[in-house]
Every structure is written in C-alpha cells, then in structure tokens.
Structure 1
Amino acid sequence: MNIELTRFRVLPGKTASVNEWMELLNSSLPVVLETLEQEKMYVETIFSESIDGVEYLYWYSIQGENGVEVKDSNHEIDKAHLRYWKECIDPDYAPQDLRPRVNMIPERIQSLMK
C-alpha cells in the first residue's frame, strides 16, 4: 500500500480551468470511481490552497500495488483529466511530496484494501 500527499502548482491564470476540472470530476463521480478500481486506488482526494496569490492542488491517495497508470486508461474521464492536467499544472514546478509521519488506518481497514 502506498500513501501519498503531493503538492502541484497551478499555472497562473488557470483558476477557471481548475474549477471546471474539479466540477467535471465531481459531476462524474460514479464514472471516476469506476476508473479507480483498475488503478487500485483506494482513496484519492484533491485539495486546493492559495499561498500569496499562487494556487496549488494537493493530491492525497492510498493506492494498492500494480494498478493501471491513469495515463494508460482508455476511459474518457481519465483522458479529460489528463488534458486538464496538462493545461493547468505547472510543469516547471517540481511536485512536492509531503512525508507521512504517522499512518493511522486500523488493521481491519488495511486488510480490506489488500
């Protein structure tokens, strides 16, 4: 099981596109959840934050081993997700991985994720 929290910087002027992207994911949740199965993605949450006028998106995920990469998916929602990613995420900003310090997932929940 892999637990991640990563920060990505949004390109300047892309707030409206980010809002559109998040609305697409929210409004298509049943289809999105279906795609997570093949990725062995147990939990995926996207957070947003603005610091000194710069917008960031944070991805929190808990993923199993040997899942299909989103870039290899044939689902239309994943293709749209990647198009928004290319449009909105700053490729010149190195993603910032936050280090987990404590994992508080009860064993009975962890066993369900395996």
Structure 2
Amino acid sequence: MFLFVGGLLLGSLITLGVMQARQYCGADASSSVATKTESPFTVTLYRFELNQDKLDRFEDWVQFEHAHHAETVTTLEREKMYFEAIFRDREHQPNVIYWLAVQGQGGGHANDSPLPIDKQYEQFMQETLKKGSRTTLSTEYSLVPPFVVQTIQHH
C-alpha cells in the first residue's frame, strides 16, 4: 500500500513538474512537445584558459573588481548585462575560468566603452586570458521564473 501511494504521489509531482516546465516554455499543458519562447536575454557560459605566467595578474584583476565593485556594476546598464559571474576551480584547474553572463539583446561591449573602468577591464582581459582559448558552452536549457523574465522585459 505504501509503495502504491508513494508511486501515486511521485507520479503526480512529475506531472505537475512537466506541466510547469511546459508553461515556462510557453507550451500548452496538453501539448506533447514544449515550444521555446523568445527570451528577453541570453544565458551564456564561457570557458577561458588563463596564461600560466599571469595567474598573479589574474589575482590583481579579481582584487580590482572587488575594490571597484560599485563602479563596475554601473557599466552593466550600458551592456544590458543583468548578471555576470566568474568561477574558478583553484584546486583542479587553477588556470581555467568559467564566465557566466545573462545579457539582454542589443547591449554594448566593454571593448567599445568610453569608460575608464572598462579600459582597465579590457587590459586585464588582454593580459591574463590565453588567446584563442575562449569556448562558448552550449546552453541545453535554463530555468528562469516568470517574474524574472517579466522584470527584464519591463526594464
């Protein structure tokens, strides 16, 4: 009896989850295939290798970003960048970073910015990132609640 009730609950939760996922994607709950909706932003994950002889310089970059956080955040509006984060596995791959970006359509880029903070940012990129090492990872899916999508659309 316990297994039957547990299976029934699990099946109900899976059905609700599938219905919610289809609703987020814009598909009718009775549809057998979810359709992708147009998003006001893209979610991208990049992988870069750091120049082995510039790991200390990368640390300078990280410290610079922390020291100039408020000033750096103000540049995001021009880029239509809603979220940006850099990740690093210092133990297993200290010379590799992963760069997560959530950006709206039509935003500017740091390399065409007139702002001094972006010039410094570009200098750090040129010095520390290994040329030709950028890889853009494929986005298989992203889960974004409707209130976030609506907020970005409204913005």
In structure 1, stretches of 5+ residues that fail to align are: none
Find the aligned partners of 1:39 and 1:53 in 2 and give their Cα distance.
29
Over the aligned positions, Cα root-mean-square deviation in angstroms equals 1.5
1:27-71 C-alpha deviation (Å, 9 max, x unpaired): 111111100000000000011135766501111010001111111
Secondary structure of 1:101's counterpart equals coil
Q: Which structure has the larger Rg?
A: 2
70, 94, 97: which is aligned to 2:110?
70
Specify the alignment match of 1:82 in structure 2: 122
In structure 2, stretches of 5+ residues that fail to align are: 1-40
Number of aligned residues:
113
Identity %: 25
Which one scores higher on RCO, CA 8 angstroms, separation ≥ 6? Answer: 1
TM-score for both structures, normalised by structure 2: 0.68
Please say if 1:36 is aligned against 2:69.
no
61, 65, 84: which is aligned to 1:25?
65
Specify the alignment match of 2:151 in structure 1: 112
Q: Answer 1 or 2: which has greater helix percent.
A: 2
